[in-house]
Amino acid sequence: MSTTTQIAWSSDELYDALGPLPESSEVVVIGGGVAGTSAAYQLAKRGKQVTLVEMRGICSGASGRNAGVTGGGGSSLESREGRAIHALTSENFRMIQEDLQEELHDDFDLRLTGSVDIAQNEEQWEYLQDSVRRVQDLGVDVELLDGPQLRDLIPVASEHLLGAKHTKHSGHLWPFKLVNGQAEGAREFGAEVHPWTTVKGLHTSNGTVTGVETERGTIETDTVILASNAWTPHILPDLPDGALVSARGQIIVTQPVAPILPVTFGTNYDKEYGRQTSTGQLICGGFRRYDRDEGLRLYTEEVQPDCMLGCAHLLATLFPKLGRVNVVRAWAGLMGFTADGLPLVGPYEPAKGLYLSAGYNGGGFSWGPVTGKALAQLIVDGETPFDLSPFDPNRFARDGVQWLNPSTAGEKNNPKSMAELRE
């Protein structure tokens, strides 16, 4: 995900940036990431006239600045919320493996590797044991690996690691291929895709969406999908404060090494994560706790040295047999985190015709394709077979905002301070 790769994939020649905006469109999609391009593709495939606008290049935000990890299922089925998550993410994983590969003529470099959530200390190990027991009792396909079993799977893993939760229904892909594939697929069905088109606001009349105002002009429409993730509060100022906030995440990439990681990995309650690419490079991200305000509510994509040091130290701690490996690249990106850890997907009641698809809490590639499909079904057919009620975008206006996001748990509980890491 180097700068040159992003520019190549976001070339104006591929899309409609040099052409005029349409005066009107049946649907306007705001956001050129995995969620927005999916919605545009699924709607255009169903015969809708679609215009997608993006303030930068396609796949230039969080969708182009992540590790490309994806998976399905894995959630507890004992609650309505868990069943809804399981159904959506399972269908998402199936779509990436089957429908989208066939329809978009690309495998997106998808590798079905499985994943491990590694325990570095007793607290994490107890948590993983309890987690595995609970979901196994409900039929979820995961297993617990002890330390020797983990080292059988990953021979370079440290002797000090206690074990891991092993999930088989997961893998990784090349984000640019999937996101741009969906954008190109939408255009094949007649959609217009306009990068470098910043949205200034929405027009409404009598509680109904009437248009989207951009820096290049206004598009009249009665249906808008807001798939702007971290930037959603800027476009939707009446969203309750704290319902969705930006979260700056950071990643390092090493030089290529021999194949050592057959699976993706997470640790510290999945706050740190990584994988090995098909070209041999190691990717590692996380350590928001070393960023200012834990990276929350920030809107600059600056790489912080402390976060980079944390990622490098983690690779050396988990996989000490690697030896000395050079870090060759690093980047930062802005994710959208919600107060309860669930995305905002569905109609937004204050404005008829407005739909949200945002707040994927760092896991957009396990959600984006299927939520685009679900919203297209809602808009075209008036219904979807998926239960979207736990993801209702209106829930914070109705119930208030209390920050209970599990994705931020563990940010403060790592015992190593920066001073210790530098020793």
Could you tell me how many helices (H) and strands (E) the chain has, helices first? 12, 19
The residue whose two tokens read 């499909």 is 373
Q: Is the CB of residue 130 less than 8 Å from the CB of residue 90?
A: no
Question: What is the residue extent of each domain of the chain?
Answer: 3-67+175-241+340-399, 112-169+244-338+407-422
Residue 49: count of CB within 10 angstroms of its CB: 17
The residue whose two tokens read 């206690």 is 162
How many residues in the chain?
423
**pLDDT at residue 231 in the model:** 96
Exposed/middle/buried for 170, CB within 10 Å: 0-12, 13-18, 19+?
buried
What is the C-alpha separation between 83 and 321, in angstroms, rounded? 41
Return the bridge partners of 170, or none: 71
Beta strands in 191-289 (DSSP E): 192-194, 199-205, 208-214, 217-220, 224-226, 244-256, 264-267, 272-276, 281-285
Give residue 40's Cα distance to chain centre: 17
List, in sequence order, the alpha helices (H) in 46-193: 80-97, 99-104, 122-137, 147-153, 175-188
List the Cα angle 181/279/315 in 5-degree steps. Answer: 110
**pLDDT at residue 2 in the model:** 33
List the Cα angle 167/171/173 in 5-degree steps. Answer: 165
Exposed/middle/buried for 290, CB within 10 Å: 0-12, 13-18, 19+?
buried
Give residue 131's Cα distance to chain centre: 23
List, in sequence order, the alpha helices (H) in 331-392: 368-381
Q: Which CATH superfamily is domain 3-67+175-241+340-399 in?
A: FAD/NAD(P)-binding domain (3.50.50.60)
- C-alpha distances in angstroms, 186 versus 182, 209, 275, 349, 383? 6, 23, 30, 27, 21
**pLDDT at residue 416 in the model:** 41
**pLDDT at residue 269 in the model:** 87
**Which has the closest alpha carbon to 64: 365, 287, 401, 286?**
365
Q: Is the CB of residue 32 less than 8 Å from the CB of residue 183?
A: yes
Q: What is the CATH number of domain 112-169+244-338+407-422?
A: 3.30.9.10
**Which has the closest alpha carbon to 162: 147, 148, 151?**
147
> How do the pLDDT tens digits run along the chain, 423 residues long?
333 333 334 444 558 877 899 999 999 999 999 999 999 999 999 999 999 999 999 999 999 988 889 988 765 566 889 889 989 999 999 999 999 999 999 999 999 999 999 999 999 999 999 888 887 766 667 899 999 999 999 999 999 999 999 998 899 999 999 999 999 999 999 999 999 999 999 999 999 999 999 999 999 999 999 999 999 999 999 999 999 999 999 999 999 999 999 999 999 988 999 999 989 999 999 999 899 888 999 999 999 999 999 999 999 999 999 888 999 999 999 999 999 999 999 999 999 999 999 999 999 999 999 999 999 999 999 999 999 999 999 999 998 888 888 777 545 444 344 344 333
Give the DSSP letter of residue 21: P
Output the pTM of the full model: 0.90
